[in-house]
C-alpha cells in the first residue's frame, strides 16, 4: 500500500467516495459533495467565460481603442467593429446587459430583447444546418447505388437492410395515417428495428457508464491508495 500524499488526490478521492455513498442512501456527505459540485461548476464557468469571451471580446477591444485614442486622438476608426480595437463592442454589451433587467420587475420585459436577438439568429441558421446534417446527409447515405452491388452479396444485403430499416422506422413514426393494409407489416418491422436500435443505445450507454465507474475505482485503488500499480 502506497497512499498518495498530495492534497488534490485526497480531495478527489473523498469526493468520489462521498458521491458513491448515495448508492447506500441519501446522506449528508453526498449532499455536501453535490452542493460543492454545483458551486464549483458555476465558478469554473464564470472563469471560462471571463477569459474566453469577456477579456478577448470586450475588455481587450475597448482597452485597445482607448489606447489608440490616447495616442492618436479621436477618429472614426475606433468605431469600426471590424477593427481589432474598437468601441463598437459597447453596443452588444449594452444589449447583453438587458439580461439583468430580468431581476427588475418593472422593466423585466426587456430581457426578451437579447433573447430574441440570439434566438432569432441561431434558430434561422440551424434550419439549413439541420437539413444538411440530419436529412440530406442521411438520405444520401441511405441510397443504394450500383457501387454497393459490386461489394459482394453480404455487404449489398446489409445496405438494402439499412434502407428498408430506415424507411420502416420512418413509416412507424408517421402518424398522419392509420397503419393499415401494407403499412401495418412495414410499421411492425419498423418497431422491431427501433427496438434493436434502442437496445443497442442502452447497451452502449451502460457500457460507457461502467467504463467511467471502472475509471473511478482505478483512481481510488491505484492513484489514491496505491494498492495496484
Q: Footprint of other proteins on residues 152-211 (CB under 8 A)?
A: 158, 161-170, 172-173, 190-207, 209-210
Rounded Cα distance between 28 and 25, Å, is: 10
* Closer residue to other proteins (CB): 12 or 69: 12
**How far from the centroid of its chain's Cα atoms is residue 144's Cα?**
33
Site string for other proteins, 61-80 (x = CB under 8 A): --------------------
**Distance in Å, CB of 104 to other proteins, minimum:** 11
- Find, among 196, 147, 137, 187, the residue nearest to 167 by Cα: 187
**For residue 84, what are the contacts with CB-CB under 8 A and spacing of at least 6?**
61, 64
Chain-centroid distance of CA 206 in Å reads 19
**Contacting other proteins within 35-64 (CB under 8 A):** 35-51, 53-54, 57-58
Residues 42 and 56 sit within 8 Å (Cβ to Cβ): no
Q: Return the residues of window 128-147 that contact other proteins according to CB under 8 A.
A: 128, 130-131, 133-135, 138-139, 141-142
The reply to whether 108 sits near other proteins by the rule CB under 8 A is yes
Among 59, 63, 74, 93, binds other proteins (CB under 8 A): 93
- Please give the Cα distance from 218 to 194 (Å, whole number): 36
Kindly determine how many residues on this chain lie close enough to bind other proteins according to the rule CB under 8 A: 127
User: Per-residue contact track with other proteins, 1 to 30, x per CB under 8 A?
Assistant: -x-xxxxxx-xxx-xx--xx-xx-------
> Which one, of 164, 176, 172, lies nearest residue 190 by Cα?
172
Among the listed ranges 63-71, 81-89, 145-153, 177-185, the one in contact with other proteins (CB under 8 A) is: 81-89
Report the Cα 45 to chain-centroid distance in Å: 14
Candidate segments 68-76, 111-119, 145-153, 177-185, binder of other proteins by CB under 8 A: 111-119
Q: Are 151 and 158 in contact (CB under 8 A)?
A: no
Cell numbers representing residue 106 in the block: 418593472
Closest separation in Å from C-beta 184 to other proteins: 15
Q: Which is nearer to other proteins, 28 or 73 (CB)?
A: 28
67, 81, 104, 144: which one contacts other proteins (CB under 8 A)? 81
Amino acid at each position: 500500500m502506497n497512499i498518495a500524499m498530495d492534497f488534490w488526490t485526497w480531495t478527489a478521492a473523498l469526493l468520489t467516495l462521498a458521491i458513491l455513498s448515495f448508492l447506500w442512501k441519501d446522506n449528508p456527505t453526498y449532499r455536501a459533495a453535490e452542493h460543492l459540485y454545483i458551486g464549483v461548476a458555476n465558478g469554473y464557468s464564470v472563469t471560462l467565460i471571463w477569459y474566453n469571451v469577456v477579456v478577448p471580446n470586450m475588455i481587450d477591444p475597448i482597452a485597445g481603442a482607448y489606447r489608440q485614442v490616447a495616442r492618436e486622438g479621436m477618429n472614426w476608426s475606433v468605431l469600426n467593429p471590424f477593427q481589432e480595437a474598437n468601441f463598437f463592442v459597447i453596443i452588444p454589451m449594452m444589449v447583453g446587459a438587458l439580461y439583468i433587467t430580468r431581476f427588475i420587475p418593472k422593466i423585466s420585459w426587456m430581457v426578451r430583447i437579447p433573447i430574441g436577438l440570439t434566438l432569432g439568429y441561431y434558430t434561422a441558421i440551424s434550419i439549413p444546418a439541420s437539413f444538411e446534417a440530419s436529412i440530406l446527409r442521411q438520405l444520401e447515405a441511405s441510397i443504394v447505388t450500383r457501387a454497393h452491388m459490386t461489394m459482394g452479396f453480404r455487404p449489398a444485403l446489409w445496405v438494402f437492410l439499412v434502407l428498408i430499416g430506415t424507411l420502416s422506422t420512418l413509416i412507424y413514426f408517421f402518424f398522419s395515417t392509420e397503419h393499415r393494409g401494407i403499412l401495418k407489416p412495414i410499421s411492425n418491422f419498423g418497431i422491431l428495428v427501433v427496438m434493436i436500435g434502442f437496445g443497442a443505445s442502452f447497451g452502449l450507454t451502460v457500457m460507457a457508464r461502467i467504463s467511467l465507474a471502472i475509471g473511478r475505482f482505478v483512481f481510488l485503488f491505484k492513484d489514491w491508495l496505491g494498492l495496484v500499480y
